[in-house]
């Protein structure tokens, strides 16, 4: 069984490289409709892996049918954000792409675990779930793991403490309504609020929500952190790690929410989403979480389901 990545632009290639560096499978497919692009990216990545003694082989192809043997399919196809755009600005364009790609995935493979990366992440995860008709545990969106990496980076910046000691959590929408959870974050098990004051807490909270737009403004796209985030999720599945990862999942009563995909903590293993971890949110956290749900519901209402 292999890993297939659909979409070989900057993020797709970064995912492929990160999966290769971790040797998550002996063969990793990089698929795209653009002639030559996945083949060229695969060659370039293979050249790096070869001198590092790593034995994952990247296969670049325009043949979509290669997904038939894949345990994990990663859907990255779509248009990326431009400076000044929100993730929701991509809704109409990317919905048609995701629906088409998800249909093809389900035609070739009925048993894969699907990781969605295309923005706006939560509505696209919902669309992919409904289009493929896969079990809800086998469809997940990447957002929370990426948001967590940014949150943890700011915690490190403010505390000057080792990144290795930092444990962070972000839930809700992968977008402007994301919810960095200061109260559920810690340094070596010690609550984060023991290391920062209220003003610093507020600054970290706001910066985490805004930093993706800043990166896009400065360099045009976010590439490396998304690639690592998806590889982390993929590794949890391949190695059955039972990792607790924030991701976009379909809720049926968890957190008091139904029929929406939204960022929540989940146990990830060989069967995909094995359990959703419900958190006792306080009034402020619940209010912010609900804002994210409302945003995603509005987007879902316009999807071509």
The 10s digit of each residue's pLDDT in 144-195 is 999 999 999 999 999 999 999 999 999 999 998 999 999 999 999 999 999 9
> Over 90: is that where the pLDDT of 8 sits?
yes
2-143: in CATH 3.30.565.60:
no
Percent of the chain clearing pLDDT 70 (strictly above): 100
Q: Cβ distance 300 to 123 under 8 Å?
A: yes
The domain segmentation of the chain, as residue ranges, is: 2-143
Give residue for tokens 């989403």: 273
Of 47, 108, 156, 174, the catalytic one is 174
Across the range 32-51, mean pLDDT stands at 98
How many Å apart are CA 28 and CA 261, to the nearest integer?
Answer: 27
Across the range 110-127, mean pLDDT stands at 97
Active site residue 47: no
Q: pLDDT grade, residue 1 (50/70/90)?
A: low
The pLDDT of residue 87 is 75
């Amino acid at each position: 069984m292999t890993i297939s990545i659909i979409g070989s632009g900057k993020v797709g290639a970064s995912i492929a490289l990160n999966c290769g560096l971790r040797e998550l499978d002996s063969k990793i497919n990089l698929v795209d409709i653009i002639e030559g692009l996945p083949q060229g990216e695969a060659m370039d990545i293979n050249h790096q892996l070869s001198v590092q003694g790593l034995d994952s082989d990247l296969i670049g192809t325009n043949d979509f049918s290669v997904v038939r043997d894949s345990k994990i399919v990663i859907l990255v196809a779509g248009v990326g954000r431009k400076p000044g755009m929100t993730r929701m600005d991509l809704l109409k364009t990317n919905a048609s792409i995701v629906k088409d790609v998800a249909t093809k995935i389900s035609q070739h493979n009925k048993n894969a675990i699907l990781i969605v990366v295309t923005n706006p992440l939560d509505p696209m995860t919902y669309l992919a779930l409904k289009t493929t008709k896969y079990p809800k545990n086998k469809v997940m969106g990447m957002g929370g793991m990426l948001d967590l990496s940014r949150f943890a980076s700011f915690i490190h910046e403010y505390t000057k403490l080792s990144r290795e000691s930092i444990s962070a959590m972000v839930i809700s929408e992968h977008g402007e309504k994301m919810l960095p959870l200061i109260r559920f974050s810690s340094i070596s098990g010690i609550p984060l609020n023991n290391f920062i004051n209220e003003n610093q807490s507020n600054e970290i909270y706001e910066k985490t929500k805004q930093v993706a737009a800043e990166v896009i403004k400065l360099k045009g796209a976010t590439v490396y952190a998304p690639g690592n985030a998806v590889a982390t999720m993929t590794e949890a599945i391949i190695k059955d790690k039972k990792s607790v990862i924030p991701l976009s999942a379909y809720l049926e009563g968890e957190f008091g929410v139904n029929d929406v995909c939204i960022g929540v903590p989940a146990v990830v293993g060989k069967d995909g989403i094995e359990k959703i971890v419900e958190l006792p949110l306080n009034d402020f956290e619940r209010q912010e979480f609900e804002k994210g749900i409302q945003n995603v519901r509005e987007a879902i209402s316009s999807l071509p389901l």
